[in-house]
Structure 1
Amino acid sequence: MTGFTPIVSTITAAFLASFVEVVEAFTIVLAVGVTRSWRPALIGAALALALLAALVLAFGPLLALVPITIMQFVVGVLLILFGMRWLRKAILRAAGVIALRDEEAAFSRETAVLHRQANDRRADYLAGVAAFKAVLLEGVEVVFIVIAVGAAHGQTLYASLGALAAFVLVMLVGLALHRPLARVPENALKFIVGLMLTSFGIFWTGEGIGADWPGDDLALLAIFAIVALASFAIVRWLRSAHPALTGGLAR
C-alpha cells in the first residue's frame, strides 16, 4: 500500500475516529475545569496523556518484530470487530432504536456529580481522577486506532498526524467556546468511522490470508461502498420495522 489512496484513507480514518473520542474526553475535562478548577482538570488530563505516550513507546517497537502477514491478519480481524462495534451503535442510533449521544447532557451529568462532591475534602482529587479516567479511556481507543490503521502497512506516522490534527482542532475550538461541542454530528462521524474501520479490517484480513484484491488499493473503495450500502439498507429496514421510532444520520 504505497499509493495516495491508502494514505488519505489512513489519515481520514484516524482523524475522524480520534475526533469523536477527543470530543467525548474533552466534555468531561471541560466539566471538571468549569465546575471545580482547571488545575485538577489539566493535571488529570496530562497524566493520562503521559501514560498513553509511555504505552505507545513501550509496545510500539514490538510491532516491528511481527511478520507482516500475521500483522495484517490480526489487525484486520481486530479492526473488523472494532469497526462493527462502532457501526452497530451508529446504525441503531440512525434508525432511532437507541438514543443519540448528547454532549450537553453528558456535560450536565458530570457537572452535577462534581457539584455533589464540592464539600468533599477530596474534591480536587476526585475531579482530577474524573479527567484522568476520561482522557485515558478515550485515549486508549485512539491509540488502538492509530496503531491499527497505520501499523499494517507502515503508515503509523500518517495515522498519528490524523489523530494529532483531531486533538488540536477539538482543543482549540473547545477552549475558545468554553462549552461542549454539542453541534458535532457525532453519530454521522461514528457511522463513517465504523464503515472505514470495517473496510480496512476486511481488506487487511484478506491480505493477511493471501488474497489478491482486484485493483489493489482501490479495492478499499469498493469494500467501503459495499459495507456502506449494506449498512444503509439495515437502517432503512430497522426504520420500517420500528415506524414509531425516529432517528437520522444528520446528527
Structure 2
Amino acid sequence: MPKRMTVKIVLAVMTLVLLSLVLPVCAGTQAYPELPLQEMRIAAYTKAFAERFGLPAPPPGTEPSGGLQAIEFAIEKGPKWAPRYYCNFYLYVDSSLPIKYPEEGVAGEKYMLITTTHFFGRAYEQWMEWSLQDRRYSTGLDGKYNRKARMATKNYMPGKQGAISDLDYIEFHKNILPNLDYLKLNFSPFSLMINKVNNGVDIWVQQRGNTDYRSRIKSDSSDFIKFSIPEVVLQKIRQWGNQAKEANRKINAVIRDKSDQ
C-alpha cells in the first residue's frame, strides 16, 4: 500500500475516534434529561374503592380518609412550550363534598383557557395584539383555576410554623362516576416543601363560599376541606420530587445554553 494512502487511512481513523469521544459530550449538553415516568406513579385508595373497582386490598395504614376515596401522585412532563417536569395529584372524592370548583359546569380544563394553547396567542407579541377587553377576559378565566387548592404541613400556622404552597387545578369532572368526583391538581417541584421535617402534609381544596383567593394572600384554613396525604405517597413525593427538581435544573441550563447560541 502506498505510504500516502496509509497516512490518509490513519488520519481518517484518528478523526473518527476523536469524534466518537466528543460527540456524546456535545449531545449530552443539549439533550433534556429523561426520567422513568412510567415508574414514577403511586396510588392509595380505600377498601371500598378497591372493592368497587376490583383492585388489590390496600395495605394496612395506607387508606385515605375524610371523603378522599383515592389519590394518585405522578411526575409528568409539561407541554412542548413548558418542557419541564411537574408533580400531579389525581384525586377521587365523594360527590357530596361542598367543593368550590373553578367553574359552575360539570367539567372544566385549564389548558383550554391558556393563551398559548391557541395559535393566535402563543407568543407574547401576538397576545399583546389582542384588545384589552379580550386580554382581561382571558386572564380572568385562566385565574379561576388558580389558588383554589393548597398543600400544607399539618403543623402550619400562618407566619409562625410549618409551610404551605399553592396547587393549581388542571381539570375536574363532577360525578365522573356515580357519587365520585375527579380533580387533577398540579404543582412545580420547586414549590414543594420536599425536605422539610414535619408530622405530615394535607391537601386543601376550597369549599363553597364567597372568598376569592385570587386577590387574597393569606389562607384561612376554615375555607378549605383537608385531605391527609398517606405517608406511603408522601415518601414518593419527596423522593421523586427531588429527582424532578434536579432534572428541571438541568433542563433550564440547556434552555439557557440554546438561547445564548
Shared fold per TM-score greater than 0.5 = no
Name which structure has the greater RCO, CA cutoff 8 Å, separation 6+: 1
TM-score computed with the length of structure 1 as normaliser:
0.31
Between Structure 1 and Structure 2, the one with more strand by share is: 2
Please identify the structure whose Cα radius of gyration is greater. 2
TM-score computed with the length of structure 2 as normaliser:
0.30
